[in-house]
Structure 1
Amino acid sequence: MVLRLEYPRPQFVRSEWVNLNGEWDFEFDDQNIGLDEKWFEKHKEYTQKINVPFAFQSKLSGINDSSFHDWVWYRREFAIPDTMVGKQIIMHFGAVDYQAMVFINGKLVGTHEGGHTPFSFDITNYLISGIQSVVVRVEDPSIEETIPRGKQNWLDKPGGIWYTRTTGIWQTVWLEAVNKTHIKKLKFTPDIDNGDIIIDVELSGDYGEKSLEIDITFEGENVAKDTIIITDGYLRRSINLYNRKIFRTGFHDVGWNWTPEKPNLFDVNIRMKEQDQILDEISSYFGMRKIHTENGMVYLNNKPYYQKLVLDQGYWPEGLLTAPTEQDLKKDIELSKEMGFNGCRKHQKVEDPLFLYWADKLGFLVWGECASAPSYSEDAVARLTNEWIEIINRDYNHPCIVTWVPLNESWGVPLICNNEQQKHHSVAMYHLIHSLDTTRLVISNDGWELTKTDICAIHNYNHGQLNENEKYNEFRNALLNKENLLNSRPAGRRIYTEGFNHCGEPILLTEFGGIGFKLNNENGWGYTTVKNEEEYLADYERVMKAVYESNSLHGYCYTQLTDVEQEINGILMYDRTPKCDLKKIRIINDMWHVSIVNS
């Protein structure tokens, strides 16, 4: 049995915790009778076992059933370690798709709706002496089209661009012990122009007559230390890191800023104390990073930065949405960097925080995206809005994330071209995200029919087969300059929806390629197809050459990193086996240096 035992929240680390992954009792409830029959009580016998946090549709779950079951139940027993007794016990769920009810010792402690973001409950008052019981009921309606489910198939068997669905627990379940008075939230906002890190802290419990100590180190050396007398449940501190060093450089960079080439990170230790007693202690980190647009280009730390991204669906053949191990998350980044990509667009998925941790550590840009709902309604708006609030709350501190993508290819807003309500939704999502996060870029509708946006993001798969010269020349011409890019309709849709126009935003080609290449006679599809490695590399170079010839594109996102189920258009196979010499992919990807110099 594969076990996911690593610490699940690397941006907010405490020492006292218990991992609840592994074998749980499990039951399908296809008649939806579990609540009436009180399956949350001990008398109910569950007939199956499941390996949490792998969804029952996956091989690693031990069940491997891809048929539709809209209601499922989980149960396991656990003990509270002696070191945690007397403290508040918090139960955390990394992600449960889609609606969860959590029972402790037969009592309902809380519910959560949303399939991609974490939630937690204080279970202290529900505990009994001896062995404890947790039961989780999950509802994942298969025909509900207002749920943000992204690439998950919801009506029939997987096919086309739709993959095997995920139901239930798919990220780590764990316990944490805290004192009644503890740190509730920690937020880092870098300001590289002034060399400051702005730290926001929210506290829980009785904060009177207590202090907060903040220690910041860089590569093991102390950079700053601050002690704050707590007078409120919320406090903010701005700490200057660079001192006078910043004024001796012409680029506001003393060598400590975070980039994919030099992923510098500051370590932070925060202690809440009452006199000499430590009530709470958090380990974390941050990166000094700035992203903005200027002169039609994206700037990283006040310098133009050409983004070479790869589309990453975040699926694995044995775990589906859940990576088999933490090393699998790390490996995807390492393989991408080996090919010359400096980042990825996580497509229609909110990825495991451990992926973002390794992107921070290894130096890898990430565009964060949420699953879209299949259709538009007021319920779909509310559900997407709530998930985005929780996404930003979870991921705000990761320096690797530079862009948010709330909508993709008009999914969930199919009539946006002439429907004012759906236009308002797109604009509202843009402003909502900026109201929560001023440190990143936001794309209103990646691909086409853009409204208010920070990047003009265009999708174009019309490069044609190797021998289709006329199609290829049309593709090259569509990318050649700003006028052609903005007037193109690669999917038969306008780049900007009616009533909106380009306002100088950087133009990036954020989906293209998708060359299909199968190595083991598997069935599947790509946007174009090749027969062997030689053809694959020739076609890849042909497509990339058209991108680099453009005098108006300032970055790209190639489709895609890996094959996924019936899609065989990855550079890597589904199991991450390379389809070609990755050094040759890197040589092609590095052509942009010559292109930029010549332009």
Structure 2
Amino acid sequence: MLTEVSKAQKVRHEYPRPQFQRKEWLTLNGEWDFRFDDEAIGEDAGWYQAEAQASFTRKINVPFTFQSKLSGIEDPSFHDVVWYRRTFEIPQDWNGKRIVLHFGAVDYMAKVWVNGHLVAMHEGGHTPFQADITASLVKGSNTLVLRAEDFSRDVTLPRGKQYWLEHSASIFYTRTTGIWQSVWLEPVSPVHLSKTMMTPDIDRNEIRIRTFLEGYKATEDLKLQITVSYKGELVVEDQYAIRNPEQLRTIGLSDFTDHGLGRLWSPEHPNLYDIEFRLVQDGNVVDQVSSYFGMRKVSIENGKLCLNNRPYFQRLVLDQGYFPEGILTAPSDEALKRDVELTKEMGFNGVRKHQKTEDPRFLYWCDKLGLLLWSEAANAYEYSESYVRRFTAEWQEIIERDYNHPCIITWVPLNESWGVPNVQMDKRQQQHGLAMYHLTQVVGR
């Protein structure tokens, strides 16, 4: 018998994006209204309308998918179209700000409405997306609706180890459909930072920082203040005028030498620098973001992998990233942390996350506690033109999301012959593999 979720059940309440933190935010994890739509009639029937509450017959505990025990539903059968609904109110002290809605990951295609207005669409089951929902908000209670569509039997869909048959078998596991990472709101100014990409250079003792702005206008007086600290001690402060929505800045770290080793990042010494970004408009701070980075270098010398210019022997475990009660979603942040701790306690210094792009909180703990990571995408099982289109877009989003993590030393777009089963003979599949290699080389550089 299926059980509905209890309001008392714990939700994932930690900040979902540890490398790009703002102080003000509101989690939307927890109890949502939910409904299966096996006949795919919900959109025509207007289930996205605010007054359609009666159409939702179940409750679900977000961010756990309906297939999992922690969702409160635990139904592993095929339901390729599902709907979510909940209400929320905007805090009064957010008045005058732009309101951004974030989804950590929704498997596989998502459409999002706020108060009946379509605000976002996204394809790809493992990467985040967001929408500025300010224009769709009303005073008091707002209604948020999401429609998720999966293609459970499509073997050309980038799905990793999710099985396309009903029951798990062999090396294939239970599917994930719908919301499986955190959902949250945050207020921002009309002009604000949208992302940063940081590249350390230990040979030059510097960090190259590429910043991206949303809402930039060339007529505005904008400056970016950057503060770098190490274990609470100021290292360097920098300020420069913003001339473009995308800008590159290189900052020297004069304290970095310390005999050449003292502040490098490695599994044995996971040293991290804290960095604060403050966007200043007409003398006022309008946006502030906290992040961190690690100074480390990965290279190949004489056929040997080197970490920080020294040969380094990897002792890796292959980790599928499946949890008994949450499937792809960890039951808690502590569970992700404990996975890293146990891996290190067993004598490993790294992990290959096999056929899964993991929750950013896991990458945070790898950075913080010191664990190398081979970052891998979920592949399709068979090749098709639609697979190439879908996978190429998602792979770029994966790299952009995780580019700043010092723990990542290897990017793995393709596993064995997954998605390219005839790679030995089919030139299209060969070129696809080469294209993914070259795409990986250029993103963020």
Aligned partner of 2:195 in structure 1 is: 185
**Kept in 1: contact 2:108–2:124 (CA 8 A):** yes
The answer on 1:174 being equivalent to 2:184 is yes
Matches within 5 A, 1:2-401: 2-41=10-49, 42-45=51-54, 46-206=56-216, 208-242=220-254, 246=257, 249=259, 253-401=260-408
**For residues 168 and 436 of structure 1, what CA distance do their matches in structure 2 show?**
28
**For residues 340 and 121 of structure 1, what CA distance do their matches in structure 2 show?**
43
Report the 3-state secondary structure (helix = DSSP H, G, I; strand = E; otherwise coil) of the residue aligned with 1:327: helix
Report the 3-state secondary structure (helix = DSSP H, G, I; strand = E; otherwise coil) of the residue aligned with 1:329: helix
**For residues 325 and 350 of structure 1, what CA distance do their matches in structure 2 show?**
17
Q: Which has the higher helix share?
A: 1
Report the 3-state secondary structure (helix = DSSP H, G, I; strand = E; otherwise coil) of the residue aligned with 1:434: helix
**Kept in 2: contact 1:242–1:254 (CA 8 A):** no
Aligned partner of 1:425 in structure 2 is: 432
TM-superposition CA deviations, 1:114-159 (whole Å, max 9, x none)? 0000000000001112100000001001222221000001123110
The CA deviation at 1:204 is 2.1
**AA aligned opposite 1:43:** A
Aligned partner of 1:575 in structure 2 is: none
The CA deviation at 1:205 is 2.3
Aligned partner of 1:467 in structure 2 is: none
Matches within 5 A, 1:429-440: 429-436=436-443
Aligned partner of 1:525 in structure 2 is: none
Scaled by the length of structure 2, what TM-score is found? Answer: 0.95
**Kept in 1: contact 2:76–2:166 (CA 8 A):** no
**For residues 74 and 237 of structure 1, what CA distance do their matches in structure 2 show?**
42
Matches within 5 A, 1:394-543: 394-436=401-443
Q: Relative contact order (C-alpha < 8 Å, sep 6+): which is higher?
A: 2
The CA deviation at 1:234 is 2.2
The CA deviation at 1:44 is 4.5
% same residue: 56
TM-superposition CA deviations, 1:301-320 (whole Å, max 9, x none)? 10000000000111111100
Report the 3-state secondary structure (helix = DSSP H, G, I; strand = E; otherwise coil) of the residue aligned with 1:72: strand
Q: Which has the higher strand share?
A: 2
Report the 3-state secondary structure (helix = DSSP H, G, I; strand = E; otherwise coil) of the residue aligned with 1:349: coil
Deviating above 6 A after TM superposition, structure 1's stretches of 4 or more consecutive aligned residues are none
The root-mean-square deviation of aligned C-alpha atoms, in Å, is 1.2
Report the 3-state secondary structure (helix = DSSP H, G, I; strand = E; otherwise coil) of the residue aligned with 1:280: strand
Scaled by the length of structure 1, what TM-score is found? Answer: 0.71
What stretches of structure 1 of length at least 5 have no aligned partner? 439-599
Higher-Rg member (1/2): 1
Report the 3-state secondary structure (helix = DSSP H, G, I; strand = E; otherwise coil) of the residue aligned with 2:300: strand
**For residues 221 and 299 of structure 1, what CA distance do their matches in structure 2 show?**
29
The CA deviation at 1:180 is 0.3
TM-superposition CA deviations, 1:9-44 (whole Å, max 9, x none)? 000000111000000000000011101111111234
Report the 3-state secondary structure (helix = DSSP H, G, I; strand = E; otherwise coil) of the residue aligned with 2:315: strand
Report the 3-state secondary structure (helix = DSSP H, G, I; strand = E; otherwise coil) of the residue aligned with 1:307: coil
